[in-house]
Amino acid sequence: MFQTITIVAPGLLGASLAIAASEKSVAKDISIWARRPEAVESLLQQPWCTRASTDLDEACRGSELIVLCAPVNRIITLAEEISKFAIGNPIVTDVGSVKADIVHRCEAALVGRAHFIGSHPMAGSEKTGMENACGDLFEQRVCFVTPSDKSNPEALAKTNAFWEAIGSLVVQETPDRHDEIVAQVSHLPHLLASSLATFLATRCPTAADYCGNGLRDTTRVASGSPELWHEIVDQNRPEVLRALRDFQDHLQSLTAAIANQSDFELLKQLADGKQFRDQL
């Protein structure tokens, strides 16, 4: 599909993407940019890495597709750096979990130098780092691709094909609609899990001595990086606030049903919740 692709930042997502691209022969050569020399040394020992460098220009040289896998607060800066040396209009995409601001600013930074197409694979783990990477991380997982009215049609088609080739299920949405959706299905659940864990740390600090798998399952995502999630919430603040307010309204209706001994309403909410969960 591609002669050369570049993965920028080989954390969990970046390294998993490189492994998947190698295993599925999506690219003949896989170049990786890493910030630290010791990471480059480790990468060069991996069978799924053709070349690696701490020099962004060198790592991206000759690539037809560049995937920015850095934290959301670094993606725009990296696109601006790439604009200084990009030639031949390569495709640049990303894995950022917020899209509206990233798409708008990366398109502006790369205009005339590269074609930016926003992406967000709904894949990951509470674990981080290249050491936890695996080639099937994206298998049968949704990947949002978020074109704008400025997107190059050929670059969009190739970006969709890339994600499909590594096993993802591509869903195409506008950047704004994407941010609304992920605030509800990703950002809100993480904040609720973290808030519950914080609450229990104060109210029942010895909960680990008594709890079963229910609490562990409910709070699992709270183990994610606080710094990373702070950045995500900051980038998607309006939609996150809207989701939180809507959930507060729902929680108030549940509180009222319990307080008013409205067994019908309580049972209905529990049944609706079970039906939704059983479909996931």
Q: For the segment 20-64, what is each residue's pLDDT rounded down to a tens digit?
A: 999 999 999 999 999 999 999 999 999 999 999 999 999 999 999
* 236 and 98 Cβ atoms separated by less than 8 Å: yes
pLDDT tens for 185-202 read 999 999 999 999 999 999
pLDDT at 223: 93
Sorting pLDDT into bands at 50, 70 and 90, what band is 131?
confident
Residue 1 confidence (pLDDT) above 90: no
pLDDT at 183: 97
pLDDT at 228: 87
Axis-axis angle for helices 72-82, 226-235 (nearest 10): 70
Sheet holding 142-146, edge to edge: 118-121, 142-146, 169-172
Note the residue count of the chain: 280
What is the number of helices (H) and of strands (E) in the chain? 12, 9
pLDDT at 263: 94
pLDDT at 247: 97
Sorting pLDDT into bands at 50, 70 and 90, what band is 252?
very high
pLDDT at 63: 97
Residue 124 confidence (pLDDT) above 80: no
Sorting pLDDT into bands at 50, 70 and 90, what band is 90?
very high
Cα–Cα distance list, 71 to 29, 74, 132, 196 (Å): 24, 6, 17, 25
Percent of the chain with pLDDT over 70: 100
Give the strand pairing for 65-68 and 2-8.
Answer: parallel
Sorting pLDDT into bands at 50, 70 and 90, what band is 73?
confident
Rounded average pLDDT over 117-137: 88
Domains, the chain, ordered by start? 2-173 (3.40.50.720), 177-279 (1.10.3660.10)
Alpha-carbon radius of gyration of the chain? 21
pLDDT tens for 137-158 read 999 999 999 999 999 999 999 9
Count of CB atoms within 10 A of residue 89's CB?
Answer: 15
- 24-33, 110-119, 136-145, 227-236: the lowest-pLDDT one: 227-236
Residue 127 confidence (pLDDT) above 80: no
φ, ψ (nearest 5 deg) of residue 205: -65, -20
